[in-house]
Structure 1
Amino acid sequence: MTTDELLAVLRLQGAPKIGDVTLKKLIAHCGSAQAVFEEKRQNLLKIDGIGTHALQGLYDGEHQEAAVDEFEYIKRNDIGFSYFMDADYPSYLKHCIDSPVLLYKRGDINLEGRKLISIVGTRNITSYGTAFCEKFIEDIAPLNPIIVSGFAYGVDITAQKAAVKHGLQTIGCLAHGLNQIYPKVHSKYLLDVEKNGGFYTEFRSSSNPDRENFLKRNRVIAGMSEATVVIESAEKGGSLVTADIANSYNRDVFAVPGRAQDKYSSGCNNLIKQQKAHMLTSAADLVYLLGWDVVKKATPTIQKQLFIELEPTEQSIYNYLQKDGKQLLDSIALECQLPIFKVSSTLLNMEMKGIIRPLPGKLFEAI
């Protein structure tokens, strides 16, 4: 992108009534951001969905001055950027109608040919959530995905630290400009993330971490990835908003189940109950449901450790399902010579361990 085109994009973004959807319409109609300012106002008003309200303040000189200031900040601080029409713009995000026109970036991000998973959840992560998150990333690591999150307290930073630990790229999507970091206590993780991925934000250097910015940031987290994983969440929270956005983008959503009485499992349990998310009990669930090709060394990593933990009854059922494939509850009870109530409770435990999965038609299969 040329300097003049970048300045034009920044100037358009400064107009108070022009959002990303409207901005894309203007650029598509005129052919470039520069051409928008060269087009006659009456012609712009002929564009579907563009009215006088949208163009209010478009030609104000203050926006041009602010654009120059931001351009100077970008150049002075060696800030990278991805334009929505460029090849390095996140491909999944490109398909979202309200995606940012411009993303500022910092670090060593390489998206080419890579799988992306967004991981979100409560800031008040429990020991259960921490253990699941770390184990999930350990098991998914052989597939070399990029882990996307919000660099916030709790689930976000747990996921991103685990990604760095296992040599995975991780991207933090921020709700403010790149001239600061929020929360400040996470500044100690900046270099590790930048060396193993980096940061994206749509917000200028003058933007603070205001509440509405976090809601906008959530659509980037949801839009960037093929799937969004919710580790833990209370009944209300930003991670549920992210899950809703991911569903609106027709992306897969996964939620980790927990006990009914646990406060920070209620949001995940509700997502599963309302069929807004697949139940996630292990990395193998995600691999299977997304249809990812499993790297040969990934299968033992996911299954061998779980296999060691099987009790005798679980071992008997698992061996049968591995040998004979998908089976009904009655068939499992008959073959394993167990009462149905015992098989039913054992299957539930095995599902929670991630070694079997239920299928339509009341069938079960080994993972």
Structure 2
Amino acid sequence: MTEQELFYLLALQRVDGVGDIMAKKLLANYGTAEEVFKTKPQQLASIDGVGTALLKNMQDKTVFEKATKEMQFIETNGIKTHYFQDANYPDRLKHCFDGPVLLFSSGNIDWNNRKLISIVGTRQITSYGTEFCRKLIEDLAPLNPVIVSGFAYGVDIVAHQLAMEYNLQTIGVVAHGLNQIYPKPHKKYVARMEENGGFMSEFWSTTNPDKENFVRRNRIVAGMTEATIVIESADRGGSLITANMANDYNRDVFAVPGRVTDKYSQGCNNLIKSQKAHVLTSAADLIYILNWDIQAMAKPVQKQLFVELEPDEQKIYDYLLKTGKELMDIIALECEFPIYRISGLLLNMELKGVIRPLPGKLFEAI
């Protein structure tokens, strides 16, 4: 995208009544934002949804002054721009009808990594949620996923911190312009996050972290990732909005179950109960459902002569030695393990090098 087109696109965003959906409609008809401004009002009026009020607003020349100021901020601060039709725009977000026409980012984000997952939850994370998040990211680390969250208190910042601890790329999607950091105590994490990942926003530098912006932000978190994971949540909260948006975008949603008496497990338990989320008890559940390549987690070494297996693992291994390759569901049935338990056992056995996965979700002993 050229500087000239960016200028007109910014101006179009400042026209009162032009949101992302209307902007995409106008751009689809006229190709560029510059052409939209050059088009005669009577022609624009033929576009569905363009009424007299919008036509009048298109004549407002102050939008160009505002665009000039924002261009100066972008250039002065090295902000990267991402147009929804360009290659450096989150690919999955392109398929969301209400995805932002334009995104802004800072840092060093690798757009080639396809394994993007969002981790969200309560701002009052418990020790249970923290330990689960740590174990999850530790086990996923060999697959090198990108961890996306909202940079807020609680689950968000824990997910970002753990991603950095395990040298994973992490992206904070914020509900304000990139000229500020919110919440301010998290400023200490900015430099390290921007080394491997960074920050993303649809908001101009003139935008503050107002309440309504967080809901808009959540659709980016849900839309740009392959799956959304809810670690902990009360029966209401922003993370449940994100989960519902992910469902609307036909993304996988996972929720960590908890005790029915725990306040910050109620939201997750309700997601599972209403079948809006998969049960997440370990990294293996996510790997299996998303069909990620488990071989990337195994070290390329020969099988050890003597491998210590847990009793449950030994039971599965003996079964596979006797029957040969078998489906995971059948293994669970014949070995009398619940399906959520078998996925974790099989993952551990693969990492120990005693079994291997085959096409069609089959497994065999080595």
| TM-score, L = length of structure 1 | 0.85
Q: How does 1:137-148 map to 2 (within 5 A)?
A: 137-148=137-148
Unaligned stretches of 5+ in structure 1? 301-306, 334-345, 358-364
Partner of 1:220: 220
In the TM superposition, residue 65 of structure 1 has moved relative to its aligned partner by 1.1
In the TM superposition, residue 48 of structure 1 has moved relative to its aligned partner by 2.3
**CA-atom RMSD, angstroms?**
2.5
In the TM superposition, residue 309 of structure 1 has moved relative to its aligned partner by 10
Q: Distance in 2 between matches of 1:169 and 1:58?
A: 41
Partner of 2:99: 99
* SS class of match (1:295): helix
In structure 2, relative to structure 1, the CA distance for the partners of 1:164 and 1:55 (3 Å cut) is farther
* SS class of match (1:243): helix
* SS class of match (1:206): coil
Partner of 1:304: none
**8 Å contact kept, 1:272–1:279:** yes
Q: Distance in 1 between matches of 2:135 and 2:284?
A: 12
In structure 2, relative to structure 1, the CA distance for the partners of 1:349 and 1:174 (3 Å cut) is closer
In structure 2, relative to structure 1, the CA distance for the partners of 1:33 and 1:348 (3 Å cut) is closer
* SS class of match (2:57): coil
Unaligned stretches of 5+ in structure 2? 301-306, 348-361
Q: Distance in 2 between matches of 1:87 and 1:276?
A: 31
In structure 2, relative to structure 1, the CA distance for the partners of 1:330 and 1:172 (3 Å cut) is closer
How big is each residue's C-alpha offset from its partner over 1:1-38, in whole Å with a ceiling of 9 and x where there is no partner? 22221111111111121110000111110110000000
Q: What is the letter of the counterpart of residue 76 of structure 1? A: T
**8 Å contact kept, 1:181–1:187:** yes
Q: How does 1:11-50 map to 2 (within 5 A)?
A: 11-50=11-50
In the TM superposition, residue 319 of structure 1 has moved relative to its aligned partner by 4.7
Partner of 1:355: 345
In the TM superposition, residue 327 of structure 1 has moved relative to its aligned partner by 4.0
Between 1:314-323 and 1:88-97, the stretch displaced more is 314-323
**8 Å contact kept, 2:332–2:339:** no
How big is each residue's C-alpha offset from its partner over 1:64-122, in whole Å with a ceiling of 9 and x where there is no partner? 11111111111111111111111111100111111111111100011114311111111
Q: How does 1:127-166 map to 2 (within 5 A)?
A: 127-166=127-166
Q: Distance in 2 between matches of 1:115 and 1:72?
A: 34
Partner of 2:278: 278
In the TM superposition, residue 308 of structure 1 has moved relative to its aligned partner by 8.1
In structure 2, relative to structure 1, the CA distance for the partners of 1:297 and 1:107 (3 Å cut) is same
Q: What is the letter of the counterpart of residue 355 of structure 1? A: L
- Percent of aligned pairs with the same residue? 55
Q: How does 1:211-290 map to 2 (within 5 A)?
A: 211-290=211-290
Partner of 1:207: 207
2:180 pairs with 1:190 = no
Q: Distance in 2 between matches of 1:20 and 1:330?
A: 50
Q: What is the letter of the counterpart of residue 62 of structure 2? A: E
In structure 2, relative to structure 1, the CA distance for the partners of 1:77 and 1:328 (3 Å cut) is closer
2:3 pairs with 1:3 = yes
**8 Å contact kept, 1:255–1:269:** yes
In the TM superposition, residue 318 of structure 1 has moved relative to its aligned partner by 4.5
In structure 2, relative to structure 1, the CA distance for the partners of 1:328 and 1:179 (3 Å cut) is closer
Q: What is the letter of the counterpart of residue 294 of structure 1? A: I
In structure 2, relative to structure 1, the CA distance for the partners of 1:321 and 1:32 (3 Å cut) is farther
How big is each residue's C-alpha offset from its partner over 1:115-134, in whole Å with a ceiling of 9 and x where there is no partner? 11111111111111101111
In the TM superposition, residue 58 of structure 1 has moved relative to its aligned partner by 2.1
Q: Distance in 1 between matches of 2:190 and 2:152?
A: 12
**8 Å contact kept, 2:150–2:156:** yes
Partner of 1:336: none
How big is each residue's C-alpha offset from its partner over 1:295-339, in whole Å with a ceiling of 9 and x where there is no partner? 343489xxxxxx9895x5x45655566555444888546xxxxxx
Q: What is the letter of the counterpart of residue 81 of structure 1? A: T
Q: Distance in 1 between matches of 2:125 and 2:133?
A: 10
* SS class of match (1:268): helix
In structure 2, relative to structure 1, the CA distance for the partners of 1:320 and 1:56 (3 Å cut) is farther
Number of aligned residues: 339
In the TM superposition, residue 274 of structure 1 has moved relative to its aligned partner by 0.6
In the TM superposition, residue 262 of structure 1 has moved relative to its aligned partner by 1.0
In structure 2, relative to structure 1, the CA distance for the partners of 1:250 and 1:196 (3 Å cut) is same
